[in-house]
Amino acid sequence: MLLAPLWVATVGYGALVSVLSGDWVAATLSFLSAAAMVGGICFRNFGAPRLVAVMIFLSLGPCCIGALLAGEPTLWLTLLQIPFYLFAMSAAAWRLNGMLVSTMKAKQENDRRARHNELTGLLNRAGLFAAVRSCELAETGAPPMFSGSALLYFDLDGFKAINDAHGHEVGDTLLALVARRLRHVSDEGSLVARLGGDEFVIVTPPHADPLALADTIVEELAKPFHADGETTALSIGVSVGIALFDHDHDELDGVLRDADNALYEAKRAGKRRWVMAQRRVAKMREVRALVA
C-alpha cells in the first residue's frame, strides 16, 4: 500500500524533472509514460478506488506543475486534460469496485441460499454436512470434532393434519415458529437444521446433555403455537431420535442413520417422546459418568 504511491510518485517526479530540464524529447516521453500508466493503475487496483485516485494524482499532478513552470503555452493543455484523466479513471475504478462488491455479495447470498432453508433460515441438509465438514477440517490432527456430541433427529407429530386442515401457508408459518423455538432452546454452538418437510436436526456441542435437551424440546413443542390470522391455537408434538458421535462412529451419515432409526422407535412407542439409539446407550452412560 505504501510502495504503490511511492512508485507512481517517482514517475511524476521524473516527468517534472524532464520538463524543467528543457529537453522536450525527454519531457514528451515522460508525459506519455505517466499518462500511459493511468489505465493500468485503474484496472489493476480498482478494488481500492481511493488508492487509484491518489496514485493517478501523484503520477500526473507533477506534470501540471511542470507545465506551469516550463513557460511553454502548448503544455498548458495538460491542465485541461489531466483533471479529466483523474476524474474519468477514478470514476471507472469506483464503478468497477461496485461491480466487484455486488458480485461478491451475490456469491455470498447464493452460497447462503444453497446451504440454508429459505422458509426457516436454518441449515438445510447440504448446509449441515458442510458445517460438520468445516469443523472437522478446522480440527485436523485433533480428536474428532464432534466426539462427545449428540445428534437429535425430530419429526413433528400432527403436523400433516394441521397442514391439510388449514392450508400450506399456515403449515409454513408453523414450521417457521418451530424453527424459532428450536433455536431458542438449543445450546450455543449447536447446529440446527431442517432436512425437509417437518424433519429437523440438532447437533449439540461436545459434552452437552442431549437427554435434557430432548426433554426440553418435547415439552416446548407441545405448547400451543399461534399463527398469524388463526383464531385457534395450533397444537403439535414431536418425536425425537438421539444418536451419539464417538471415536468409533463419527461420520455424520452413520450417526444420522442411527438417530433416524431411533426416531421411528419413538414413533412406534406412541410418539411425543425421545428414544436413544440402542447401541449408543452404554456410551451415553459412560460420557455422563465422566462429566459427573
Render pLDDT for 185-194 as a digit per residue (tens, 0 to 9). Answer: 998 889 999 9
Task: Mark whether 59 and 168 lie in a shared domain.
Answer: no
Report the relative pairing of strands 199-203 and 150-157 from DSSP bridges.
antiparallel
pLDDT confidence bin for 143, thresholds 50/70/90? very low
Helix (H) or strand (E) holding 17: helix 3-21
SS (H, E, C) 242-258: EEECECCECCHHHHHHH
Interior CA angle at 171 toward 168 and 175, to 5°? 135
Confidence check: pLDDT of 142 > 50: no
Amino acid found at 103: T
pLDDT of residue 101: 87
Task: Mark whether 133 and 108 lie in a shared domain.
Answer: no
Domain end marker among 91, 112, 133: 112
pLDDT of residue 113: 83
pLDDT in tens, 215-271: 999 999 999 998 776 678 899 999 999 999 876 556 888 899 999 999 999 999 999
Task: Mark whether 185 and 44 lie in a shared domain.
Answer: no
pLDDT of residue 62: 85
pLDDT of residue 141: 45
Task: Mark whether 165 and 73 lie in a shared domain.
Answer: no
pLDDT of residue 92: 83
Question: Does the residue 283 lie in any domain?
Answer: yes
Task: Mark whether 131 and 91 lie in a shared domain.
Answer: no
- Rounded to two decimals, the pTM is 0.64
pLDDT in tens, 61-115: 888 888 888 777 877 777 777 788 778 888 888 888 888 888 888 888 888 888 8
Domain end marker among 79, 112, 145: 112
Question: Does the residue 120 lie in any domain?
Answer: no
Question: Does the residue 177 lie in any domain?
Answer: yes
Per DSSP, the three-state class of 123 is strand
Task: Mark whether 73 and 185 lie in a shared domain.
Answer: no
pLDDT confidence bin for 140, thresholds 50/70/90? very low
Active site residues: 198
Domain end marker among 90, 112, 134: 112
Report the relative pairing of strands 274-276 and 191-196 from DSSP bridges.
unpaired
Report the relative pairing of strands 237-244 and 199-203 from DSSP bridges.
unpaired
Per DSSP, the three-state class of 243 is strand
pLDDT in tens, 194-209: 999 999 999 998 878 9
Confidence check: pLDDT of 159 > 70: yes
Question: Does the residue 118 lie in any domain?
Answer: no
Task: Mark whether 36 and 58 lie in a shared domain.
Answer: yes
For the chain, give the percent of residues with pLDDT over 90. Answer: 36
Task: Mark whether 21 and 100 lie in a shared domain.
Answer: yes
Read off the CATH number of the domain in which 224 is found.
3.30.70.270
Question: Does the residue 217 lie in any domain?
Answer: yes
Q: Does residue 1 or residue 230 have the better pLDDT?
A: 1
Residue 124: name the closest of 175, 50, 174 by CA: 175
Q: Does residue 291 or residue 271 have the better pLDDT?
A: 271
Yes or no: say if 154 and 239 are a contact pair by the CB < 8 Å rule. yes
Per DSSP, the three-state class of 10 is helix
Report the relative pairing of strands 274-276 and 237-244 from DSSP bridges.
parallel
Count of domains for the chain: 2
pLDDT of residue 146: 63
Domain membership of residue 10 as a residue range: 3-112
Question: Does the residue 163 lie in any domain?
Answer: yes
Interior CA angle at 241 toward 235 and 243, to 5°? 150
Task: Mark whether 160 and 90 lie in a shared domain.
Answer: no
Task: Mark whether 237 and 161 lie in a shared domain.
Answer: yes
Confidence check: pLDDT of 16 > 70: yes
| Measured CA distances, 251 to 18, 149, 244 (Å) | 70, 12, 10
Question: Does the residue 117 lie in any domain?
Answer: no
Amino acid found at 145: M
Distance in angstroms (rounded) separating the CA atoms of residues 119 and 194: 10
Task: Mark whether 84 and 147 lie in a shared domain.
Answer: no
Mean pLDDT (the chain) is 84
pLDDT of residue 230: 66
Residue 97: name the closest of 132, 52, 129, 62 by CA: 52
Question: Does the residue 147 lie in any domain?
Answer: yes
Yes or no: say if 263 and 181 are a contact pair by the CB < 8 Å rule. no
Q: Does residue 290 or residue 55 have the better pLDDT?
A: 55
Task: Mark whether 193 and 255 lie in a shared domain.
Answer: yes
pLDDT of residue 286: 54
